[in-house]
Copies of this chain bind each other. A is one copy, B any other.
Amino acid sequence: MRKRLVFNAFEMNAVSHVYHGLWRHPANRQTSFNTLAFWTDLARTLERGRFDALFLADVVGIDKGHNGGRDTYFKEGIHLPANDPAILSAALIGATSNLGLMFTSSILQSHPFDFARRVSTLDHLSDGRIGWNIVTTTSRNAARNFGFDEPVAHDERYAWADEYVEVVYKLWEGSWEDGAVLNDPAAGGYANSSLIHEIGHRGQRYRVEGPHLSSPSPQRTPVLIQAGSSKAGRAFAARNAEATFVVCLTPEAARVAVNEIRRDVVAAGRDPSDLLFFQGLSFVIGSTEEEAWRKSRALDEYVSTDGLAAHVGRDLGIDFGRLDPERPVADYAIEGLRGFTQFFEEANPGRKARLIDLVTSMSYNGRIVGTPEQIADSLEAWQDAGIDGINVAYQTAPGSFVDVVDHLMPVLRARGLAQIEYAPGTLRERLFPGRPATLQGAHPATRYRRVAENASAALAATGRG
């Protein structure tokens, strides 16, 4: 029997996340993203299927990236409107009992003192089901929404991220010691002030006195997710992340990436198992392969290639709207397209990749079409390459997830690839069986705990130190 994979639903509090154009599909209810009923229904479906978490992506700005403007983003609802994912996570706590709630928040958007309290509140109310996807934002519009003229330079952004997590670690881990809350009406009062500390942070960007406004939540620090792919981003993830999100083209490519990043984790003094790898995939499931491909072609009819080009181009910093989609990629010397070009031409011998082919295949990268058994075989290959979990993207919502829950999960469970029941405990305990609810080991957050310091002070005071 295999080790189980982690499954997250990869979503966004928006009209169109990955498969642009599909918002027009009559079975897609994602256009109801403004309503709680849509999300409650989705969350309950995921919990029924024993998904580990709802993973909410986010943006805090939309650049003028396609045909020099934003029209395509609005027309196709691509990441705009985009509502707040932390508020949505809060709204789903009561509708679920076990589902993890992982949301994205940029260091650009919130002051860490306020952010830390929002997260602690979420973690308290959910009994420890919260994960934070840490992002540093590169968007120019996002920068300009928060008072900057231009995005902060790359390396400086990660120095900023380092300070940001330092502040929140101090608040979550270093401000209230274990045992600070007494809740003892008879004698001790509600809390013991000698175990509650100001943090006195004075750094490059932030000065934060403290103490933290919330008492320690079940996980203290939420499960930390980070998906930076640059050198500085990967180093940050190696030091801080407990899960990282990759979108590799093949299991073989994943194996290389996973091994490389795990080496960085070890170099950062952590255990290689301290970091989980989530691969982004999506599924079109049929009872036969033919049926699956028929479904896939039917979905394709709704695809907006203009929307896909706008999204992919934005991520690559290329305005595809100004290039001819029918021309071979080779005509444009674009460094960011080399890997995809090679991948496409190997998969389609004798064909020269055109821009349109690339946009389509890049966006569709990670879509697996087949029977549940075929998909299970493929997932085994991803697992063998070192992948710990899957971020499942949808074509229609909740439809794509209902298909996974009803048709794929039973086959995966029979192979041990999916969990049959939720384990008890917090999100962290479920993702890392056998470990406690709070961060342990060489994680930098643990450095701010005062337990040891006070324990030794107490020992010294009793003359036993």
Contacts and interface: CB of A to CB of B under 8 A. Distances in A.
Contacts of A59: 213
The A interface, classified by DSSP as helix, strand, loop or mixed, is mixed
A309 interface: no
Contacts of A208: 144-147
Contacts of A257: none
Interface string A45-84: 0000000000000011110000001110011110011111
A410 B117 CA distance: 39
A305 interface: no
Interface stretch (A187-195, A240-248, A437-445): A187-195
A299 interface: no
A31 B190 contact: yes
Contacts of A83: 117, 120-121, 124, 213-214
B110 A75 contact: no
Interface residues of A, number: 74
Contacts of A110: 110-111, 114
The interface centre, meaning the residue of A77, A125, A183 with most chain B CB atoms within 10 A of its CB, is A125
A76 B113 contact: no
Nearest to A182: B75
Interface stretch (A88-96, A367-375, A393-401): A88-96
A433 interface: no
Interface in A12-42: 13, 15-16, 23-24, 31, 34-36, 39-40
A364 interface: no
Contact of A87 (B122, B183, B188, B210): B122
Contacts of A61: 209, 213
A95 B95 CA distance: 9
A135 B36 CA distance: 28
Contact of A124 (B16, B35, B94, B146): B35
Nearest to A15: B190
A84 B84 CA distance: 15
A237 interface: no
Given A109-B111, A147-B207, 9 more contacts: A61-B213, A75-B191, A80-B211, A82-B214, A86-B118, A87-B90, A87-B118, A113-B146, A147-B206
Interface of A: 13, 15-16, 23-24, 31, 34-36, 39-40, 59-62, 69-71, 74-77, 80-84, 86-88, 90-95, 109-111, 113-114, 117-118, 120-122, 124-126, 141, 144-147, 181, 183, 185, 188-193, 196, 206-211, 213-215, 217
15 contacts: A15-B190, A40-B94, A62-B211, A75-B188, A75-B189, A76-B190, A83-B117, A83-B120, A87-B122, A94-B95, A109-B111, A109-B114, A110-B114, A114-B146, A145-B208
